[in-house]
Structure 1
Amino acid sequence: MFETVFTPWLSLSGGVLIGLAATLLMLIFGRVMGATGILAGLLYPASRQDFAWRASLLAGMVTGPAIVWLLFGEMPAVQVPVSTGALVAGGLIVGVGVTFGAGCTSGHGVCGMARLSPRSIVATLIFMPVTFATVFVIRHVIGG
């Protein structure tokens, strides 16, 4: 059984950094920080400038753990308490949800909610309870 560790200060710091990054991206480029939209736009950029900011943001997301390693001498601990098959299945389900929901949790839940977007509010009101139910079923009914 995987134990969830409650880390309020780390969680708060991460949330503040995500909020700051989303705010700066909106202020500087007028763009919403939805991770899947940023990745999709990187694959099919509208211009060189569009490619540049998307690539820079994704490079920052990928190199973040390396920076932690340089600062603290060790990589952040990552525990994945499910099988590779479950990860692949989950990724496919998320991909379908992102496609039909016209955005991801970061786009709707962080940026859309902050802008009081009705579409994002509805999306968040749907995906959060579904997430809670899924975790409950996986952990307590199926026993994963």
Structure 2
Amino acid sequence: MNLHPWLQALAGGVLIGLSAVVLLLLNGRIAGISGIAFSLFERSRLGEWAWKLAFIAGMVGAGVAVLAWQGQAPAAPVSTPMLVGAGLLVGIGTALGNGCTSGHGVCGLGRMSARSLVAVLAFMATAIATVFVVRHVLGGA
């Protein structure tokens, strides 16, 4: 499958939105990834835990499956300590922001949540500022 990159992004966005809608319609749950992942560490009924684990496993497995289909091996472009540090920072940020970009951007905006709109604007402003500093102030790629 040799799709143009914008078509790949469009297809990915459609699939993410579709999965959020299907989860909400069939299970009555919001597809906020950080909330689902964090709740795996709480005591809950087996049925609740099972769908959450299946959702996370499916999300990771789908990415690995696409890479395998394209003949690529999963690999991180950075060192393991940097990857762990970045993961910890993302986890702290999602806890402070009461959700992650997927929860606020996909599900929250879809439900017309004012809190999610503010969160997405903050995410975007931070991302824009970070790219500006890295590319134009620090001279990075």
TM-score (norm 1): 0.82
Partner of 2:12: 14
Shift in CA distance, 85/136, structure 1 to aligned 2, threshold 3 Å: farther
2:40 alignment partner, SS class = helix
Looking at structure 2, the residues matched to 62 and 139 of structure 1 have their Cα atoms a distance apart, in angstroms, of: 30
Can you give the 5+ residue segments of structure 1 that lack an aligned partner in the other structure? 1-5
Can you give the 5+ residue segments of structure 2 that lack an aligned partner in the other structure? none
Structure 1: which 4+ aligned runs deviate by more than 6 Å? none
Does residue 98 in structure 1 map to residue 94 in structure 2?
yes
Partner of 1:127: 123
Amino acid at match of 1:114: G
Match runs of 1:68-87 below 5 Å: 68=66, 72=69, 74-75=71-72, 80=77, 82-87=78-83
**Which of 15, 26, 36 is matched with 1:38 structurally?**
36
Looking at structure 2, the residues matched to 95 and 24 of structure 1 have their Cα atoms a distance apart, in angstroms, of: 26
Does residue 50 in structure 1 map to residue 55 in structure 2?
no
Give the CA RMSD over aligned residues. 2.3
Question: Structure 1 residues 131-140 or 118-127, which shifts more?
Answer: 131-140
Tell me, yes or no, if the aligned pair for 1:65 and 1:75 is still in contact at 8 Å.
no
Tell me, yes or no, if the aligned pair for 1:32 and 1:107 is still in contact at 8 Å.
yes
The number of residues matched between the two structures is: 137
Tell me, yes or no, if the aligned pair for 1:36 and 1:103 is still in contact at 8 Å.
yes
Does residue 111 in structure 1 map to residue 83 in structure 2?
no
TM-score (norm 2): 0.84
Looking at structure 1, the residues matched to 26 and 96 of structure 2 have their Cα atoms a distance apart, in angstroms, of: 29
Looking at structure 2, the residues matched to 10 and 16 of structure 1 have their Cα atoms a distance apart, in angstroms, of: 10
